[in-house]
């Protein structure tokens, strides 16, 4: 019987807590810092996700058997190294292994060294050299800041003026800190997310999912943290999936072992099916958000066994997944990803059938109110994509709030719209 601490407080962590609450082995779940929705299924603890000392003291003081880390920021500051150093069991990668996400250059060098398919690139620290290189190449130019930049470190510049402004921002003004820029070849094709549980060379695949990064219908508007996701992607064949599993996910796991920084957590491949084959756009060292909210509801195995096995370095049974298609729509505050109001009352949640994963909510005088850009995600399962989508949008209509918007076309790629 186990006590588990989940680190983080978004929709992804709500989905992790939800999956853990179905475990026969888990008796108590804490979540730091958690959120209003998570608080209905776990005990929220007011400690920031990057406060490693605070989290370590809490885990020791409360005899936590296993800690599960959601966000990359906590991994990148070395929470796993600190917990392991103190003899505590934790699911997540070491700081050295997290470089697969936290450094674009590290990831690119690894992919080239081990023949993992990705776009060509060069990295620069000097603004003038970077600009000369970009000038001599076709547009659009893909510019990536070499470090964690809260999803804002990638610029796809259509013109030289845009590229110049981005390079100035990243290399002269150092908006994200002192750094390097990776300039990549521009690829085209549908994108998809392939997440696996990884323990050294052991790789356990999850169902594929697709995110929707733009704010508005028709993939228009600014980039966001993700406005909806679904599983079962008809444009990715079993052959494609197997190619990606063998040549990208497994090869990367083996490469990290060979480099002396084995993975032990989730490896997220952000992949693109280009006319030249499947290639890596980015790696993340953690569960994707909002992909986790549609993937974990299909898990039939006990998630505690998987987390505990990976955290202990012992082999686990292949996770079992049901065949349901799962689809989720994010309700976001009007104005997001720009400025938005907080504290707007949300009504009708009690009428919703399906799962509601909270992202940015709070309870005020017993009433649920908005408290973030992405506010919540409504998730339903169905027999196919159209069925799941019909259900989700019927449920979303039951939620009333003056200050929320959502996309109406989640899964349009799967439905040929």
Q: Which residues bind ligand GLY (CB under 6 A)?
A: 211, 226, 284, 288-289, 291
10 or 205, CB closer to ligand GLY? 10
In the complex, the smallest distance separating the C-beta of residue 28 from ligand AMP, rounded to whole angstroms, is 36
d(CA 371, CA 37): 12
| Binding-site partner at residue 288 among ligand AMP, ligand GLY, none, CB < 5 to 8 Å by type | ligand GLY
Query: Contact letters (x/-) for ligand AMP, 320-359, by CB under 6 A?
Result: ----------------------------------------
Q: Answer for the pair 44, 20: CB distance below 8 angstroms, yes or no.
A: no
Q: Answer for the pair 75, 92: CB distance below 8 angstroms, yes or no.
A: yes
| Binding-site partner at residue 403 among ligand AMP, ligand GLY, none, CB < 5 to 8 Å by type | none
226 or 337, CB closer to ligand GLY? 226
Query: Contact letters (x/-) for ligand AMP, 151-170, by CB under 6 A?
Result: ---x-x--------------
- Report the 10 Å Cβ neighbour count for 364: 12
How many residues touch ligand AMP (CB under 6 A)? 13
In this structure, is the dihedral angle defined by the CA atoms of residues 11, 374, 55 and 265, taken in order, positive or negative? positive
291 or 395, CB closer to ligand GLY? 291
- Containing 257, the helix (H) or strand (E) segment is helix 251-258
In the complex, the smallest distance separating the C-beta of residue 146 from ligand AMP, rounded to whole angstroms, is 11
4 or 183, CB closer to ligand AMP? 183
Beta strands 374-382 and 325-333, pairing class: antiparallel
In the complex, the smallest distance separating the C-beta of residue 291 from ligand GLY, rounded to whole angstroms, is 6
Q: Which 105-124 positions form the footprint of ligand AMP (CB under 6 A)? A: 119
DSSP 8-state symbol, 228:
E
Q: Which 188-217 positions form the footprint of ligand AMP (CB under 6 A)? A: 191, 213
Beta strands 141-145 and 181-184, pairing class: antiparallel
**Any bridge partners for residue 280, and if so which?**
118, 271
In the complex, the smallest distance separating the C-beta of residue 313 from ligand GLY, rounded to whole angstroms, is 26
| Binding-site partner at residue 186 among ligand GLY, ligand AMP, none, CB < 5 to 8 Å by type | ligand AMP
Can you say how many angstroms the Cα of residue 409 is from the centroid of all Cα atoms in its chain? Answer: 21
| Binding-site partner at residue 291 among ligand AMP, ligand GLY, none, CB < 5 to 8 Å by type | ligand GLY
119 or 292, CB closer to ligand GLY? 292
Q: Tell which phi-psi region holds residue 348, choosing left (phi > 0), alpha (psi between -120 and 50) or beta.
A: left
Residue 142 binds ligand AMP, judged by CB under 6 A: yes
3-class DSSP state for residue 357? strand
83 or 194, CB closer to ligand AMP? 194
186 or 383, CB closer to ligand AMP? 186
Q: Answer for the pair 116, 251: CB distance below 8 angstroms, yes or no.
A: yes
Q: Answer for the pair 31, 17: CB distance below 8 angstroms, yes or no.
A: yes
37-40's contacts with Cβ under 8 Å and 24+ in sequence apart are 37/356, 37/357, 37/358, 37/361, 37/376, 38/9, 38/13, 38/14, 38/358, 39/363
Would you tell me which residues interact with ligand AMP (CB under 6 A)? Answer: 119, 142, 144, 154, 156, 184, 186-187, 191, 213, 270, 281-282
């Amino acid at each position: 019987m186990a006590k588990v601490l989940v680190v983080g407080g978004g929709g992804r962590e709500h989905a992790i807590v939800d999956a853990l609450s179905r475990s026969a082995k888990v008796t108590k779940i804490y979540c730091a810092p958690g959120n209003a929705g998570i608080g209905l299924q776990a005990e929220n603890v007011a400690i920031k996700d990057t406060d490693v000392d605070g989290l370590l003291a809490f885990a020791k003081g409360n005899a936590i058997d296993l800690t599960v880390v959601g966000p990359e920021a906590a991994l990148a500051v070395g929470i796993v190294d600190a917990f392991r150093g103190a003899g505590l069991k934790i699911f997540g990668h070491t700081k050295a292994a997290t470089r697969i996400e936290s450094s674009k250059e590290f990831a690119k060098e690894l992919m080239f060294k081990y023949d993992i398919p990705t776009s060509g690139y060069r990295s620069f620290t000097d603004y003038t050299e970077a600009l000369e290189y970009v000038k001599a190449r076709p547009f659009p130019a893909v510019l990536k800041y070499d470090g964690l930049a809260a999803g804002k470190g990638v610029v796809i510049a259509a013109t030289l003026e845009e590229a110049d402004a981005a390079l100035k921002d990243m290399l002269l003004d150092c908006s994200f800190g002192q750094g390097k820029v990776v300039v990549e070849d521009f690829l085209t094709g549908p994108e998809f997310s392939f997440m696996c549980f990884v323990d050294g060379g052991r790789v356990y695949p999850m169902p594929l999912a697709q995110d929707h990064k733009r704010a508005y219908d028709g993939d228009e508007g600014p980039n966001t943290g993700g406005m909806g996701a679904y599983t079962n992607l008809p444009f990715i064949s079993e052959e494609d999936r197997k190619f990606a599993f063998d040549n990208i996910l497994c090869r990367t796991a083996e490469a990290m072992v060979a480099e002396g920084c084995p993975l032990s957590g989730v490896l997220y491949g952000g992949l693109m099916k280009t006319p030249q084959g499947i290639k890596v756009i980015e790696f993340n060292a953690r569960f994707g958000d909002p992909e986790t909210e549609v993937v974990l509801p299909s898990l039939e195995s006990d998630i505690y066994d998987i987390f505990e096995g990976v955290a202990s370095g012992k082999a686990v049974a292949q996770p079992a997944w049901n065949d349901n298609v799962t689809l989720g729509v994010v309700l976001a505050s009007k104005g997001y990803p720009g400025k938005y109001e907080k504290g707007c009352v949300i009504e009708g949640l009690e009428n919703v059938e399906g799962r509601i994963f909270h992202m940015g909510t709070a309870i005020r005088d017993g009433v649920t109110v908005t408290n973030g850009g992405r506010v919540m995600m409504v998730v339903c399962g169905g027999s196919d994509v159209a069925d799941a989508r019909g259900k989700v949008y019927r449920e979303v209509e039951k939620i009333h709030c003056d200050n929320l918007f959502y996309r109406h076309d989640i899964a349009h790629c799967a439905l040929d719209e």
